[in-house]
Amino acid sequence: MIKALKDTRAGGVLPTEEKLKTDFVTLSSHQLRTPLSAIKWFIEILLTQRAGKLNKKQIDYIKEIQRSNERAIALVNDLLQVSRVQEGKLHLDTAEADLAQLVEEAVDAHRSLMTNNNISFHLEIINGPLPIIVVDRVKIRRVISNLLNNAVKYTPRGGSVRVVVKKEPRELVCSFSDTGVGIPVDEQEQLFQRFFRGSNVSKIQPDGTGLGLYIAKSLVEAHKGKIWFESEEGKGTTFYLSLPTTRK
């Protein structure tokens, strides 16, 4: 039988077994951070070539190590974020924000990826100017980046991605549409579960963790917002993000 144990630090209640698992993930993720940061630092030193001249092959190999290390750092950060969600420790650092600006920042960060993948991009603001909203900018930018990044990652070369931000009476709705691989209909129910990855994406994008959307949903719900999607396999996907404009 699973007993409930009061977690005084979190102020929440998790079943004992769940709490042990979450504690294990939190502790090991923290432990992994230090060596991963050291690897990152030494890779950077090697690439400056101050420790010795490198030939082209050595630079290519070190850059591969750098990419893998960045993926490991991102995974550890995601695991820590998942633990925070499960322990009810999500803290929002809210301030006034312009959603269009947050979207534009995420778009700018993805421009070169879209160009390299030959993906055409379109951004539209409907019913602007948009009202200022009160959100945790870092967390909402992360959600937007995740949705945009997925749209680009899961769209084959030559496809298109369209982002629309629309003012509705009580909320701002942001949609991310792509002409990509879509989500198989019988898997759609699992989409926001931890570690879920579609059976149709493992070959085209072997590196994903399946944690992004789980974290995104928790972050959006912490803002009293909503996240949902429509998708057809082989045709494309649209994700929607809505955030309230009225303070509750």
Judged by the rule CB under 6 A, the positions of this chain that interact with ligand ADP are 146, 150-151, 154, 178, 180-183, 191, 196-198, 201, 208-213, 237
Comparison of 19 and 239: residue with beta carbon closer to ligand ADP: 239
CA distance 4 to 2: 7
Comparison of 79 and 130: residue with beta carbon closer to ligand ADP: 79
Comparison of 19 and 139: residue with beta carbon closer to ligand ADP: 139
Comparison of 37 and 193: residue with beta carbon closer to ligand ADP: 193
Comparison of 191 and 241: residue with beta carbon closer to ligand ADP: 191
Minimum distance of ligand ADP from residue 78's CB (angstroms) = 8
Minimum distance of ligand ADP from residue 26's CB (angstroms) = 20
Strand ranges, E, within the chain: 4-7, 12-15, 95-97, 120-126, 133-135, 160-167, 171-178, 226-232, 236-244
* Cα–Cα distances in angstroms (integers) from residue 134 to residues 92, 172, 177, 241, in the given order: 11, 12, 25, 15
Residue pair 198/153 in contact (Cβ under 8 Å)? The answer is no
Residue pair 93/86 in contact (Cβ under 8 Å)? The answer is no
CA distance 26 to 140: 23
Minimum distance of ligand ADP from residue 231's CB (angstroms) = 7
Question: Strand, coil or helix: what is 192?
Answer: coil
Based on the number of CB atoms within 10 Å of its own CB, is 147 exposed (0-12), middle (13-18) or buried (19 or more)? buried
Minimum distance of ligand ADP from residue 212's CB (angstroms) = 3
CA–chain centroid gap for 224, Å, is: 18
Comparison of 155 and 242: residue with beta carbon closer to ligand ADP: 155
Minimum distance of ligand ADP from residue 110's CB (angstroms) = 13
Q: Which residue is nearest to ligand ADP (CB)?
A: 208
Minimum distance of ligand ADP from residue 228's CB (angstroms) = 12
Q: What is the end-to-end Cα distance of the chain in Å, rounded?
A: 39
